[in-house]
Structure 1
Amino acid sequence: MSQSFRHPEILEIARRDGKVTVEGLAQHFGVTLQTIRRDLTELADAGRLERVHGGAVLPSGTINIGYEERRHLNNVGKASIARECAARIPDGISLFLNIGTSTEAVAQELLHHKDLMVVTNNMNVANILVANPDCEVLVTGGTLRRTDGGLIGTLATDSIRQFKFDLAVIGCSALDAEGDILDFDIQEVGVSRAILRHSRKTYLVADHSKFKRSAPARIASLAEVDLFVTDEPLSSALARSCESWNTGVVVARAERAEAG
C-alpha cells in the first residue's frame, strides 16, 4: 500500500482514537516501523499530526476540528455515554442541553422520556427532540454559528439567565489532566459558564478523545460538575481528584467490547 493510501487512514485512526502508535500502524498496514515513522513525519510536516514518543496525536491548537469530522469521531463511545447519561435523567424535569455532538447523542436517547422541558442553544438538539411529543423544546436566542448549529453570544447568555434548570448536560472540546474543562470559542465559554450558574445539577459528557486534545479557553473545573460520563477510565490522579471534589464518574462500556 502506498503512502498516498495510508495517510488518510492514519488520520482517520488518529481522529477515532486520539493517538496513533508506530508499532500499531506498522502491524495494521503490514509495513516496517521505518515506513510508518516516515509517514508520521510527513503528516506532521503538513500540520496534520503532532509527533510524540512512539507515535503521533491530533494537533492541538486554537481551532476546533470540523463539525462533520466531530460527528463521526468515536460514534460508538458517544452512543454509550449518551445511554448512560440519559438513564440518569428523570422524567418531568427542566433540562438544558448545550452545543456539541455528545449532547446531540444524549438528545437522541431522550426521545421516549416524558414531560421534559428542554432548553437548548443547539439547533441540532432542537431538531432531534421535535420527534418527542412529550418534550417541550425552547431554543435560546443568539448568533447562529453555521458550522455546527450553535447559538452563542449575549442573546444566548441573557436567555439562559431567565431560567433555573433542574439539570444541565454539557459537552466540551477538551479536558486536561488537572480536570479543567476547555473549549475553543470564547463566546461559547461564556454561555457554558452561565449554564453552570443557572443549573441545580450539571452532568458533563465527553469521550476519551477529549483527554488527548487541548483548547485555549477554560469553562470550569470538574469540581463544579456533579457527574462526569465518559467511555474510558480516568487517570488515577484525576480519579482521586474527582473523589475529593465529590464529582461522580461513570465509565460507559461500549457495545463493541461486548461484541468481542
Structure 2
Amino acid sequence: MTHPRQSSILELARTEGRVSVEDLAQRFGVTLQTIRRDLSEMADAGLLDRVHGGAVARMGVVNIGYDQRRRMNEGAKQAVARACAAMIPENCSLILNIGTTTEAVARELLGHRNITVITNNMNVANILLANPGCEVMLAGGSLRRADGGLVGELTAGFFAQFKVDIAVIGCSALDADGDMLDFDLAEVRVSQAILQRSRQAFLVADASKFQRTAPGLIGSLSQIDRVFTDRPLPGDLAARCEGWETAVTLA
C-alpha cells in the first residue's frame, strides 16, 4: 500500500465488512476517483474484493480480531514470553513490536531493571508503565484502533533513528520455508525496519502460527538469532534453522 489512507481503508473493511466509495471519499476528504484508484490498487494486491459501489475485505487475508487473538493459546504465549524474557539481560535496549505475544513478553519484563523499550505497540507501553526501571519510548504513526498498534512510514522512519541490543518481534504466520508473514503491509514494513536496527533479533511465536498463512512477507528465519516457540518446528525447518545458525528455544 502506497498511502496511509489505504491502511485505514483496509482496517475499515476488516472491521465493517464492506466500505463504499462515497463514504470513504467523504471520510478522507478526497475525490471519488481517488478512492476508486485506492480500491483498485488494493484489489490488485489481493487485499480487497471490488463490489458495486465499494469493496469488501477478502476472505482468507483477514486477521483474527484482537480480543480473540489475545485469548488464544494464552498458556503457550506466557511460556514463550517467559523463556524469551529470561534471555534478555538487564541494562539493555529493546524494540518490541505489535502482537499479543510481544505483549506477554512485556509483562515478563516488569521485573527487569535499567532497560529501554522502544515500541509501536500502545499495549506494550501501558504494560511497562508499571516498571519504574524501564524507560519507554513510543513510536508515532497511524493508530490501528483495533489493537493499539502504530504503523506506516512515520513509524518505520522513527525506528530508523535507533540501534538497539535486541528486537523482539511477532508474526501472524510462519510457513514451512521459514518465512515470517503478516496481514498488514504497513505493519510488514515496520517489522522489516525493526530487524534492520537491532544487533540481535528474537521471534516469539506459539505453534498455532505454523498452521496459519498471511499475504505479507516480513522476512526469513535466517534473519533471526533465536526463535522462541512451544512445540518443535514442523518438517525440516529445524534443520534449516541449524544451517542458518538460528537457535530455537522450546518453552
Given the two structures, how large is their TM-score scaled by the length of structure 2? 0.76
In 2, distance between residues paired with 1:230 and 1:66?
22
Give identity over the alignment, percent. 60
Q: CA deviation at 1:197?
A: 0.4
Per-residue CA distance 1:177-232 (angstroms, 9 max, x = gap): 01000000000000000000010100000000000000001000000000000001
State the structure with more CA Rg.
1
Aligned to 1:99: 98
Aligned to 2:201: 202
Aligned to 1:34: none
- Indicate the SS of the match to 1:195: helix
In 2, distance between residues paired with 1:188 and 1:214?
16
- Indicate the SS of the match to 1:178: coil
- Structure 1 contact 95–116 (Cα < 8 Å) conserved: yes
In 2, distance between residues paired with 1:178 and 1:193?
18
In 1, distance between residues paired with 2:234 and 2:147?
31
Number of residues of Structure 1 aligned to a counterpart in Structure 2: 193
In 2, distance between residues paired with 1:198 and 1:250?
23
In 1, distance between residues paired with 2:90 and 2:156?
26
In 2, distance between residues paired with 1:235 and 1:189?
23
Given the two structures, how large is their TM-score scaled by the length of structure 1? 0.74
Per-residue CA distance 1:77-117 (angstroms, 9 max, x = gap): 00000000000000011100000000000000000001000
Per-residue CA distance 1:121-164 (angstroms, 9 max, x = gap): 00000000000000000000100000000000011011100000
Aligned to 1:230: 229
Aligned to 2:63: 64
Q: CA deviation at 1:61?
A: 1.5
Code of the aligned partner of 1:150: G
Structure 2 residue ranges without an equivalent (≥5):
1-58
- Structure 1 contact 233–251 (Cα < 8 Å) conserved: yes
Matches within 5 A, 1:1-260: 61-252=60-251
In 2, distance between residues paired with 1:234 and 1:211?
8
> What is the root-mean-square deviation of aligned Cα atoms in Å?
0.7
- Structure 1 contact 67–147 (Cα < 8 Å) conserved: yes
In 2, distance between residues paired with 1:123 and 1:235?
32
- Indicate the SS of the match to 1:105: helix
In 1, distance between residues paired with 2:224 and 2:85?
16
Code of the aligned partner of 1:180: D
Give runs of ≥4 in structure 1 deviating > 2 Å: none
- Structure 1 contact 61–216 (Cα < 8 Å) conserved: no
- Indicate the SS of the match to 1:193: helix
- Structure 2 contact 176–235 (Cα < 8 Å) conserved: no
In 1, distance between residues paired with 2:145 and 2:234?
36
- Indicate the SS of the match to 1:102: helix
- Structure 1 contact 153–191 (Cα < 8 Å) conserved: yes
- Indicate the SS of the match to 2:116: strand
- Indicate the SS of the match to 1:81: helix
In 2, distance between residues paired with 1:66 and 1:126?
20
- Structure 2 contact 96–168 (Cα < 8 Å) conserved: yes
